[in-house]
Amino acid sequence: MDYVPNTLQDQQQMMKAIGIEALEALFVDIPEKYRLKKLLEIPPPMSEQEIWEHMTRIAARNVTPRSTLLGAGVYHHYIPAVVHHIIARSEFYTAYTPYQAEISQGILQAIYEYQTMITRLTGTQVANASMYDGATAMAEAAVLSAKTLGKNRLLLARSIHPEYRAVVKTYAWANGYDCVEIPCAASGQIDSGALKDQLDDRTAAVLVQSPNFFGIVEDVKPLADLAHGRGALLVAGFTDATSLGILKPAGEAGADFVVGEGQSFGNPMNYGGPYLGILASTDAFLRKIPGRLAGATVDREGCRGYVLTLQTREQHIRREKATSNICSNEALCMLAAAVYLASLGKNLKKLATLNVWKANYFRAKLAALPGWKPLFPGPVYNEFALACPDVKSANSRLESAGYTGGYDLSREYPELGGGILLCATEMLRKEDMDNIAALLK
């Protein structure tokens, strides 16, 4: 099976019009020796029925857990039915970037509305139409900070998601910036003393995440003040985006960039992607931030409409002087987030609160087990780190009961051996938590 409508007869007529005898003649510019003489070594075609059966078998080789206890940057939330019904409309998913505004008002207005909701959630003045994911959003904010200030030092809270730190370091390496990690205090929050010591005039930005990787809510305000005090910028990340429903917006607390992963807003876990990089900032960076921006304007008859705007920031206009290289983004994931936020509305606060309740119940329940105790006393959202007798055996017991295990902190934090990170969203039933506590006893 393939998707080529041309029949042999069509091809002949077209070759005639072009004035060639054989399709081969279309490839004269390719040196003869490089033209493939045989078919590629790719399996033969399949009918739709066969590919469907084949792919169903592959999917069935994965094990779908009865409940997910993993958070660690990706969160299992309920997705209202409307979300998929909207993003499955082919007017949206088969279109590309809205270069032609007059036939793209649908997505342009949706972007404008999304930008608005994100600025409100983050306490900022501008949000772009998406980055690749939370990690690249953070990395680009860091690079942009350094380029803007002409400084080359980045201070990263060690409590930032390990993979985010890794991505930031890769981008920093490519640009010759130094990265310094700031440890976390006993509370689980960033060690502001250590931060103060490390801040210097070469420091472009301080990067934190709240809730951080351990689920602990950071106090962003003093950190922003510290950074600004040494002429550095504050990049504030977050883990689970639903936490924005109750936490003080980092923008209000003084962050210059608010970045993070928007997967929680209506996007399935999808084994890691596609996700949604959220990047928001202050008016000061309106003309500097990377990515697409939709702006309101009017048409020739004065009717309100929307266009992609401030494109002189972008690669297709400024080339090597662009503020980023991003072109394709995660528009459809952004649309899912917009629909998700529209359908939750003020209920997002209720949902976030429910997450807090679930996590606190679960944490207390497990902390009561012999040998189990919280790693950090700090306030948590829906994720928490515990010290336990044996992470591996705990996880294998969970897995054999059909749950996922927790995240083994020793993977990335040798200093936290015996630490396990667990998450409880609205999807985890009390019944399961009690059940789990029982089987971990």
Ligand X SMILES: Cc1ncc(COP(=O)(O)O)c(C=O)c1O
Angle, vertex CA 372, rays to CA 383 and CA 440, nearest 5: 90
**Is residue 159 within 8 Å of residue 195, measured between CB atoms?**
no
Give the position of tokens 């200093």. Answer: 415
- Of 53 and 299, CB closest to a copy of itself: 53
- Of 266 and 419, CB closest to a copy of itself: 266
Contact flag: residue 182 with other proteins (CB under 8 A): no
**Is residue 126 within 8 Å of residue 119, measured between CB atoms?**
yes
Measuring CA to CA, which residue among 312, 316, 340, 336 is closest to residue 326? 316
Measuring CA to CA, which residue among 242, 187, 173 is closest to residue 219? 187
- Of 175 and 393, CB closest to other proteins: 175
Contacts of 167 (CB under 8 A, 6+ apart): 135, 136, 138, 139
- Of 338 and 387, CB closest to other proteins: 338
- Of 326 and 348, CB closest to ligand X: 326
Instruction: Give the footprint of other proteins on residues 215-234 (CB under 8 A).
Output: 217, 219, 221
At closest approach, how far in Å is the CB of 306 from ligand X? 21
| Measured torsion, CA atoms of residues 25, 30, 33, 36, in degrees rounded to the nearest 10 | -70
Using alpha carbons, list the distances in angstroms from residue 193 to 81, 183, 219.
47, 10, 14
Tokens of 334: 């952004």
Phi, psi torsion values for 182, nearest 5 degrees: -105, 120
At closest approach, how far in Å is the CB of 272 from other proteins? 3
Query: How many CB atoms neighbour CB 117 within 10 A?
Result: 19
Contact flag: residue 20 with ligand X (CB under 6 A): no
Contact flag: residue 392 with other proteins (CB under 8 A): no
Contact flag: residue 78 with a copy of itself (CB under 8 A): yes
Contact flag: residue 327 with ligand X (CB under 6 A): yes
Interaction pattern, residues 408-427, with a copy of itself; x per rule: CB under 8 A: ------------------xx
**3-state DSSP assignment of residue 16:** helix
d(CA 211, CA 222): 16
Q: Which does 22 bind (CB under 5 to 8 A by kind): ligand X, a copy of itself, other proteins, none?
A: none
Contact flag: residue 328 with ligand X (CB under 6 A): yes
- Enclosing H/E stretch for 154: strand 153-157
Site stretch for other proteins (CB under 8 A), options 198-206, 240-248, 368-376, 382-390: 240-248
DSSP secondary structure string for all residues of 309-353: --GGGSHHHHGGGSS----S--HHHHHHHHHHHHHHTTHHHHHHH
d(CA 149, CA 330): 28
Site stretch for other proteins (CB under 8 A), options 201-209, 229-237, 324-332, 367-375: 324-332
Q: Which does 310 bind (CB under 5 to 8 A by kind): other proteins, ligand X, a copy of itself, none?
A: other proteins
Instruction: Give the footprint of a copy of itself on residues 87-146 (CB under 8 A).
Output: 88-90
- Of 83 and 232, CB closest to a copy of itself: 83
Contact flag: residue 49 with other proteins (CB under 8 A): yes
Total residues binding a copy of itself (CB under 8 A)? 12
Angle, vertex CA 241, rays to CA 208 and CA 135, nearest 5: 50
Site stretch for a copy of itself (CB under 8 A), options 45-53, 61-69, 253-261, 367-375: 45-53
Contact flag: residue 21 with other proteins (CB under 8 A): no
Q: Could you say which of 97, 187, 198, 410 contacts other proteins (CB under 8 A)?
A: 97
d(CA 423, CA 118): 24
DSSP code at position 3: -
**Is residue 280 within 8 Å of residue 118, measured between CB atoms?**
yes
**3-state DSSP assignment of residue 307:** strand
Site stretch for a copy of itself (CB under 8 A), options 44-52, 324-332, 398-406, 409-417: 44-52
At closest approach, how far in Å is the CB of 47 from ligand X? 31
- Of 106 and 418, CB closest to other proteins: 106
**Is residue 173 within 8 Å of residue 201, measured between CB atoms?**
no
At closest approach, how far in Å is the CB of 342 from a copy of itself? 14
Q: Which does 39 bind (CB under 5 to 8 A by kind): ligand X, other proteins, a copy of itself, none?
A: other proteins
Site stretch for other proteins (CB under 8 A), options 33-41, 191-199, 231-239, 383-391: 33-41
Q: Which residues bind ligand X (CB under 6 A)?
A: 327-328
Q: Which residues bind a copy of itself (CB under 8 A)?
A: 48-49, 52, 78, 80-81, 85, 88-90, 426-427
